[in-house]
Amino acid sequence: MVKKCARLAQLEDVTPHVLRQCEASRSVARDTYATATLETSGHDLRLVQHLLGHSRIETTARYLKPSPEAAEAAANGLSAWLEDAELPG
């Protein structure tokens, strides 16, 4: 079916594998965009959700792949906040 459609469209070397690679590239682009927008701009997850056109926040979260450096920075920030916070007890 793929080869027949490719032939009708006068495209060469189109296979199901090539189509899967295109889909994988699109997914990687969404992962990269979502993560970079969140990490480098400081925007919140709801804005990234809106930019990607997702109706559910869980869909947006699926595309996030935080870097080890970002995870460490977040942990350090939380640790510093906890040290400065006046917690009851």
Write down the pLDDT at residue 7.
Answer: 67
pLDDT at res. 15: 65
Name which residue leads in pLDDT, 73 or 89.
73
**pLDDT for position 58:** 92
Question: Who's near 47: CB < 8 A, 6+ residues apart?
Answer: 37
What are the structure tokens assigned to 82, written together? 């906890």
Spatial neighbors of 16 by CB under 8 A, at least 6 apart, are 2
Q: Tens digit of pLDDT for each residue in 18-68?
A: 555 555 566 666 667 777 777 777 778 888 888 888 899 998 888 787 788
Rounded Cα–Cα distance for residues 57 and 49 (Å): 6
Sign of CA dihedral 8, 12, 17, 18: negative
pTM of the predicted model, to two decimals? 0.50
Domain residue extents for the chain: 2-84
